[in-house]
Amino acid sequence: MFLRLPVCPYCHAVYHYKEASDLKGKTETCYHCRKTFLIRRRGPQWLFLGMVSLCLIGIDVLIFFSSGNLGMSLLILTVLADVLCVTAAVWLLPLTIRLVPEKKKK
Over residues 81-100, the pLDDT tens digits come to 788 887 887 788 888 788 88
Backbone angles phi, psi at 7, to 5 degrees: -125, 150
Residues 6+ apart with CB under 8 A from 85: 52, 55, 56, 59
**36 to each of 10, 14, 25, 32, 63, how far by Cα in Å?**
9, 15, 12, 11, 48
Q: What is the gyration radius of the CA atoms in the chain, in angstroms?
A: 19
Strands 98-101 and 27-29, by their bridges, are: unpaired
Average pLDDT estimate for 35-64 = 78
Give the residue, 26 or 105, on which the prediction is more confident.
26
Whole-model pTM? Answer: 0.63
DSSP H helices, the chain, are: 17-21, 42-66, 72-92
Separation between Cα atoms, residue 95 and residue 89, nearest integer Å: 10
Spans of all domains in the chain: 17-101
